[in-house]
């Protein structure tokens, strides 16, 4: 097995939502949500957390998240001839779509096709990992990086060299504090994204605060707040502490 650590009791953070926003993750199969879904509750809670941190001067981040599309959007993109075969297979299996399934009744937007189709790989990853009893959470590397930066600026990924250098410096500092190695091996932005999620899980077991934002139909989202900032966030029925918080 390529990753023997992936077994019962392991924790995986996946940079993808679990399911289309109008489907109910808590139900087996493809079940539509009963509420009128214009956006995810998880996204609203994350924006509220970031807003409170910004008010307290802990970050300058203005959270921007790509909205999770509805099932019809994915069904339409699966039917497009340019969709990669493995993503089409994932989608048909996950949603129970027939190979002859019709196009979505609404027109497809002109952008977002390739990016959104790769969400299908994320949907499949949740199913595969939870089948072997790995605890799965959604995560957002860019948000996690910016939370660790606090009020400091993080270079955008468009400036690849500067972005990677800044992320490597932050990873090295965090890894040294947590007394773990491997940060020096990070050589790409994708590796940096994976590393910040892994280190953030470890940090929540020490002095920092792990938070789980959850909703029955949408799943669970993990983020870690640096020590001392959790007290700045108002309580909510949609999130809970998942690690240690020391002021």
Contact of 247 with 227, CB cutoff 8 Å: yes
Question: For residue 122, which of 5, 32, 20, 9 has the smallest C-alpha distance?
Answer: 20
What pLDDT is recorded for position 247?
Answer: 28
Q: pLDDT at residue 245 above 50?
A: no
Q: Are 149 and 210 members of one domain?
A: yes
CA–CA dist 167, 152 (Å, integer) = 12
Same domain, 205 and 235: yes
Pairing of strands 11-14, 239-241: unpaired
Residue 114 domain-assigned? yes
| Distance of alpha carbon 70 from alpha carbon 24, whole angstroms | 11
Contact 40, 20 (CB under 8 A): no
Last residue of one domain, picked from the residues 133, 152, 174: 133
Bridge partner list, 241: 211
Range of lowest pLDDT (3-12, 67-76, 125-134):
3-12
- Judged against a pLDDT cut of 50, whether residue 244 lies above it is answered with no
The confidence score (pLDDT) of residue 57 equals 78
| Same domain, yes or no: 111 and 45 | no
Residue 9 lies in a domain: no
Q: Are residues 146 and 104 both part of a single domain? A: no
Q: Look at residues 98, 133, 168 and tell me which one is the last residue of a structural domain.
A: 133
Does a structural domain hold residue 4?
no
pTM: 0.86
CA distances from 154 to 32, 78, 145, 149, 232 (A): 39, 35, 8, 7, 22
Q: What is the mean pLDDT of the chain?
A: 85
Q: Are 99 and 74 members of one domain?
A: yes
Q: Answer whether 209's CB lies under 8 Å from 230's CB.
A: yes
Is residue 70 a contact partner of residue 22, using CB atoms and an 8 Å limit?
A: yes
Q: Residue 214 falls within a domain, yes or no?
A: yes
DSSP state of 220: E
Q: How many domains, in total, are found in the chain?
A: 2
In a shared domain, residues 111 and 215: no
Residues 123 and 72 in one domain: yes
Q: Are 204 and 242 in contact (CB under 8 A)?
A: yes
Stretch 131-157: mean pLDDT: 91
Q: Which has the minimum average pLDDT: 51-65, 183-197, 209-223?
A: 51-65
Which residue, of 133, 157, 188, is where some domain finishes?
A: 133
Q: Do 115 and 209 reside in the same domain of the chain?
A: no
Per-residue pLDDT averaged across 168-196, rounded? 93
d(CA 52, CA 133): 35
Nearby residues of 96 by Cβ (< 8 Å), 6 or more positions away: 29, 30
Given a cut of 60, whether residue 144 has pLDDT beyond it is: yes
Give the residue numbers spanning the domain of 102.
Answer: 16-39+67-133
- 184 with 129, same domain? no
Looking at the predicted structure, is the pLDDT value of residue 195 above 60? yes
CA distance 64 to 8: 34
Q: Are residues 52 and 150 in the same domain?
A: yes
Residue scoring higher pLDDT (59 or 83): 83
In this structure, the answer to whether residues 45 and 166 fall within a common structural domain is yes
Has residue 99 got a pLDDT over 70? Answer: no
Q: How far apart are CA 74 and CA 172, in angstroms?
A: 38
**DSSP assignment letter at 231:** G
247 plus 162 within the same structural domain: yes
């Amino acid at each position: 097995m390529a990753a023997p650590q992936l077994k019962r009791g392991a924790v995986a953070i996946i940079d993808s939502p679990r399911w289309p926003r109008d489907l109910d993750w808590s139900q087996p199969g493809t079940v539509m949500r009963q509420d009128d879904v214009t956006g995810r509750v998880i996204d609203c809670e994350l924006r509220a957390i970031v807003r409170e941190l910004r008010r307290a001067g802990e970050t300058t981040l203005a959270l921007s998240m790509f909205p999770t599309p509805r099932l019809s959007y994915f069904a339409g993109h699966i039917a497009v001839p340019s969709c990669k075969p493995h993503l089409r297979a994932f989608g048909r299996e996950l949603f129970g779509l027939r190979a002859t399934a019709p196009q979505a009744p609404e027109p497809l937007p002109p952008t977002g096709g390739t990016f959104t189709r790769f969400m299908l790989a994320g949907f499949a990853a949740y199913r595969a990992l939870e089948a072997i009893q790995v605890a799965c959470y959604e995560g957002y590397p860019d948000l996690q990086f910016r939370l660790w930066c606090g009020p400091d600026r993080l270079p955008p990924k468009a400036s690849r060299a500067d972005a990677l250098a800044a992320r490597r410096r932050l990873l090295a500092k965090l890894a040294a504090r947590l007394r773990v190695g491997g940060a020096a091996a990070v050589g790409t932005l994708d590796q940096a994204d994976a590393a910040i999620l892994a280190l953030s899980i470890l940090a929540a077991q020490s002095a920092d605060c792990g938070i789980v934002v959850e909703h029955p139909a949408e799943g669970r989202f993990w983020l870690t707040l640096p020590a001392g900032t959790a007290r700045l966030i108002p309580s909510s029925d949609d999130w809970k502490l998942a690690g240690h918080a020391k002021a």
